[in-house]
């Protein structure tokens, strides 16, 4: 009889313990609440850099177009093909400078858009598949930060070799990368201008996006935006944009269906 009572007591304790454990385990962890009642948001996660980039350097094709367009693919032969396919005038083009005579800037058939469309647009694009669609096979950088075309560099312009991979992990451009990831990792544009103010006296600008930068860094001004950004992102021994984001033009630029190149965020 006594053992039976102890058995009932033990059974009751076991049931109570099971209910207590079920009550604790059944509650889902709730988001941490701030004093104002708002749910605390996790800090932005810094995108992981790909483990390996396929880099090319702007000094690999110093002749520009003619470095690739040789033999069966010479510019003259390419124009003959275009004549048969699209009735392009038969022009004995020995270099791309000849093309500029008709494909002038400001015309519907401006050379940059024509070349970009031919080399970067389309599912079966040979330049994209054979040369990874990498911009630095055709372009290099002047010491001023201006991007120029290999084989068409004005006399006396000093060049700086830059390396780049073809990667596109920044859909919004500048603000995709320039974020605050932690208290000691604030790369927002506002934080960057504060750092530049301390370093070289740059005005402290409450810049939320790149549009505010171009109000001062105008294309025809003394410090054009493109030259400033190119030098900051493509030069230097320990350049984080090159090592973490491949130094890729596609991180900042889009290519339209007609070959037009635009800057993300502008």
Instruction: Kindly report, residue by residue over 212-265, the tens digit of the pLDDT.
Output: 999 999 999 999 999 999 999 999 999 999 999 999 999 999 999 999 999 999
Facing residues of 34 across strands?
none
Higher pLDDT, 7 or 240: 240
Calculate mean pLDDT across residues 162-175: 95
**Within its chain, how far is the Cα of 28 from the centroid?**
40
pLDDT-derived band at 51 (thresholds 50, 70, 90) equals low
pLDDT of res. 82 = 95
Helix (H, G, I), strand (E, B) or coil at 76: helix
What is the helix, strand, coil percentage profile of the chain, to 5?
40, 10, 50
Average pLDDT over residues 80-99: 93
pLDDT band per the 50, 70, 90 thresholds, residue 92? confident
pLDDT for 49 equals 55
Provide mean pLDDT across the span 102-131: 94
Query: Facing residues of 255 across strands?
Result: 261
Q: What pLDDT score was predicted for residue 118? A: 95
Tokens 């930068």 belong to 213
Query: Residue 226 has what pLDDT?
Result: 97
Q: Closest Cα to residue 121, out of 252, 254, 259, 250? A: 259
Joined together, the tokens standing for residue 259 give 């070959």
- 159: tokens are 């060049």
181-211 pLDDT per residue, tens: 999 999 999 999 999 999 999 999 888 999 9
Q: Is the pLDDT of residue 28 over 80?
A: no
Q: Tell me 154's DSSP state.
A: P
Q: Which pLDDT belongs to residue 16?
A: 44
Tokens of 105: 């800037």
E strand or H helix at 85, and its extent?
Answer: helix 75-86
Burial 59-86 (b: 16+ CB within 10 A, else e): ebbeebbbebbeeeebbeebbeeeeeee
Please classify residue 159 by burial: count the beta carbons closer than 10 Å to its beta carbon, then call 0-12 exposed, 13-18 middle and 19+ buried.
middle
Strands (E), the chain: 56-57, 139-142, 147-149, 159-160, 163-164, 180-182, 185-186, 253-255, 261-263
Whether pLDDT at 70 is above 70: yes
Single pTM value for the model: 0.78
pLDDT given for residue 94 in this prediction: 87
How much is the average pLDDT of 127-134? Answer: 94
Terminal CA-to-CA distance of the chain, rounded, Å? 88
Q: How confident is the model at residue 35 (pLDDT cuts 50, 70, 90)?
A: very low
Per-residue pLDDT band at 44 (split at 50, 70, 90) = low
Mean pLDDT for the stretch of residues 51-61: 91
Average pLDDT, the chain: 85
Range 162-183 average pLDDT: 95
40 pLDDT more than 70: no
Residue 165 has pLDDT above 90, yes or no: yes
Q: Is the pLDDT of residue 110 over 50?
A: yes
């Amino acid at each position: 009889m006594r053992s039976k009572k102890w058995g009932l007591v033990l059974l009751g304790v076991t049931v109570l313990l099971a209910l207590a454990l079920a009550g604790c385990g059944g509650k889902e962890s709730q988001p941490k609440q701030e004093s104002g009642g708002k749910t605390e948001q996790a800090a932005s996660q810094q995108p992981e850099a790909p483990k390996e980039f396929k880099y090319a350097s702007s000094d690999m094709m110093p002749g520009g177009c003619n470095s690739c367009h040789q033999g069966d693919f010479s510019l003259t032969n390419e124009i003959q093909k275009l004549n048969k396919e699209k009735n392009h005038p038969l022009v004995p083009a020995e270099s791309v400078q000849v093309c500029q005579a008709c494909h002038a800037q400001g015309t519907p058939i401006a050379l940059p858009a024509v070349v970009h469309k031919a080399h970067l647009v389309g599912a079966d694009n040979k330049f994209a598949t054979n040369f990874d669609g990498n911009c630095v096979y055709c372009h290099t950088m002047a010491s001023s930060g201006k991007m120029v075309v290999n084989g068409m560099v004005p006399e006396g312009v000093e060049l700086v070799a830059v390396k780049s991979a073809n990667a596109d992990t920044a859909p919004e451009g500048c603000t995709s990368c320039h974020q605050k990831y932690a208290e000691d990792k604030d790369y927002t544009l506002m934080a960057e201008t504060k750092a530049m103010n301390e370093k070289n006296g740059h005005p402290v600008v409450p810049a939320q996006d790149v549009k505010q930068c171009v109000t001062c860094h105008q294309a025809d001004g003394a410090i054009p935006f493109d030259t400033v950004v190119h030098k900051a992102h493509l030069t230097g021994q320990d350049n984080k944009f090159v090592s973490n984001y491949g130094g890729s033009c596609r991180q900042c630029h889009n290519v339209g269906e007609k070959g037009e190149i635009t800057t993300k965020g502008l």
